[in-house]
Amino acid sequence: ESTSLGEIIRSDFPILRQKVNGRDLVYLDNAATSQKPNYVLKALKDYYESSNSNVHRGVHYLSQKATTAYENAREKIADFINASDHTEIVFTRNATEAINLVANSWGDLNLGFGDEILLTVAEHHSAIVPWQIVAKKKGASLKYIGLTAGEVPDIEQLKKALSKKTKLVVTHHVSNTLGSVLPIEDIVIWSHEVGARVLLDACQSVPHMMVDVQKLNVDFLVASSHKMCGPTGIGFLYGKSNLLSSMPPFLGGGEMISDVFQDYSTYAEPPSRFEAGTPAIAEAIGLGAAIEYLSGIGMQRIHDYERELADYLYYSLTSVPNVRVYGPAPSEIIHRAALCSFNVENIHPTDIATILNEEYGVAIRSGHHCAQPLHRYFGVNASARASLYFYNTKEEVDHFIEALRETIKFFSI
Ligand SMILES: Cc1ncc(COP(=O)(O)O)c(CNc2co[nH]c2=O)c1O
């Protein structure tokens, strides 16, 4: 059997060599955050060792070196998602802040009484709560579409729910709980037909597959560095140039201004307009290194390998008696991300995750995965979730499944 991508690549990730309670760590919580390769760790260390300085407007050598590295990171992101211009990339703390930026800037300017924001019931809290806050302020409302019998967001229902009142569609590309992958190009075409804009939450897709914002034609896209081999503390908003240029600032301070007078200021052009204060320079450079690393492997290669892992995980997990997996069965039409949220009859998911960690060194997540509306939709408070990345292997899935069977036996005595 040929050596898998996971087996080839995992030596790049020092953390994966750890033991947990004497057992090899089996890290299956990648939808929460990914691990970091040596290439990224080195980029962070090199920055602080040889380039650290504050960015923009500095005339000395180090400031120019740091500025170049910071702006190069922005260009790498733009290329990675095929944005038409690097000024369409705004650095934020994470995807959550990127969504809040759109809600407080574009939302405040464009939402009014009676307007509707259309979401799926599977959205992450970061894609829901900012819109609840701005909708309350503006007299707008949130409208949700449910799931099909196959447990994917019902896009036919979405199409029917669109109307002249719909000003914005907020949707995930890949669900962090269902593992479902949505047909974004269609959703964008339907949304634009009624004059609605589309904000794509790509947190669980950008790390795992080619995402081309021009092909998808989304108006906004958000993603987080820490889910794609990059450091925490940095994420980004992609916004079409004409939209960003029309938007007022989100946070006020240095860097985002053109001139400051005593009682008013003029603002910089995007992206600086939305980047107040000293940015997370090292983190941006770390994200740029993560993109170089992923691109070096190839997103198609990563995606193909993860599809194998996705099917292997799904069918291994659904073969365990009394396990209920949420989300669609993989098929030719519907492919799943390499993550499965599940429950085991009469055993609390946190008990499952605790024993898997304590006795078997397996790291999965338990809880609501910041998707409480979706869990309520299924009539449960919580679930367990195993989520893989390209450095995981089928052997790790086998270890997880064996450990799960033992854990179920333990609780069934
Ligand atoms: C689909 C989706 N949207 C938004 C976010 C927010 O990203 P952040 O701003 O970087 O936190 C997450 C993080 N999801 C998870 C974080 O921890 N467990 C998770 O499933 C996510 O999975």
Residue 361 is predicted with a pLDDT of: 98
Q: Which of 227, 178, 177, 233 is nearest to 202 (CA)?
A: 227
Q: Using the predicted structure, report yes or no on whether residue 322 has a pLDDT greater than 90.
A: yes
Residue 165 CA, chain-centre distance (Å), reads 28
Q: Is 240 in the pocket of ligand 1 (CB under 6 A)?
A: no
Give the pLDDT of residue 57. Answer: 80
pLDDT of residue 1: 64
Residues in contact with 140: Cβ distance below 8 Å, sequence separation at least 6, in sequence order: 111, 112, 113, 114, 115, 116, 117, 134, 167
Q: Give residue 335's pLDDT band: very low, low, confident or very high (50, 70, 90).
A: confident
At 363, give phi and psi (nearest 5°). Answer: -105, 105
Tokens of 279: 């940015």
Ligand 1 mean position, distance from CA 95 (Å)? 7
Q: What is the pLDDT of residues 345-385, one digit of tens each?
A: 999 999 999 999 999 999 999 999 999 999 999 999 999 99
Which residue is associated with the tokens 């005595």? 413
Any ligand 1 atom below 6 A from CB of 369: yes
Distance CA 116, CA 308 (A): 39
CA nearest to 3, candidates 306, 399, 397, 394: 394
Contact (Cβ atoms closer than 8 angstroms) between residue 320 and residue 409: no
Under 8 Å between Cβ of 251 and 277? yes
Beta carbons within 10 angstroms of residue 38's beta carbon: 12
Ligand 1 lined by 289 (C-beta under 6 Å)? no
pLDDT for 47: 98
pLDDT one-digit tens code per residue, 305-320: 999 999 999 999 999 9
173 CA distance to ligand 1 centroid (A)? 12
Three-state SS string over 246-260 comes to: HCCCCCCCCCCEEEE
User: Would the pLDDT of 386 be above 80?
Assistant: yes
Give the residue numbers annotated as catalytic, written as ranges: 370
The answer on pLDDT for 286 being more than 70 is yes
CA-proximal residue: ligand 1, atom 22 (nearest): 176
* Least confident span in 100-114, 244-258, 330-344: 330-344
Q: Which residue owns the Cα nearest ligand 1 atom 14?
A: 32
Residue-level length of the chain: 413
pTM for the whole thing?
Answer: 0.98
C-beta of residue 235 within 8 angstroms of C-beta of residue 94: yes
201 lines ligand 1 (CB under 6 A): yes
Atom of ligand 1 nearest to the CA of 387: 20
Rounded to the nearest angstrom, the distance between the alpha carbon of 30 and the centre of ligand 1 is 10
Which of 30, 176, 229 maximizes ligand 1 atoms within 8 Å of its Cβ, making it the mutation to test the pocket?
Answer: 176
H helix or E strand, kind and range, residue 344: strand 339-344
Q: What's the pLDDT band for 139 if we cut at 50, 70, 90?
A: very high
Q: Which pLDDT does position 153 carry in this prediction?
A: 97
pLDDT at 84: 98
Q: What percent of the chain has pLDDT over 90?
A: 97
Digit-coded pLDDT (tens) for 67-91: 999 999 999 999 999 999 999 999 9
pLDDT exceeds 80 at position 334: no
Q: How far apart are the first and last CA of the chain?
A: 38
Q: Which residue, chain included where needed, has tokens 């979401």?
A: 119
Would the CA dihedral through 78, 83, 86, 91 be positive or negative?
negative
Q: Is the ipTM of this complex over 0.95?
A: yes
- Find out whether the beta carbon of 306 lies less than 6 Å from any atom of ligand 1: no
Q: Best substitution site from 99, 126, 326, 388 to test ligand 1's pocket, by max atoms within 8 Å of Cβ?
A: 126
pLDDT of residue 169: 99
**Residue 279 preceded by cis peptide, ω within 30:** no
Beta bridge partners of 19: 24
Q: What is the mean pLDDT of residues 147-167?
A: 97
**Nearest-angstrom CA–CA distance, 120 and 220:** 17
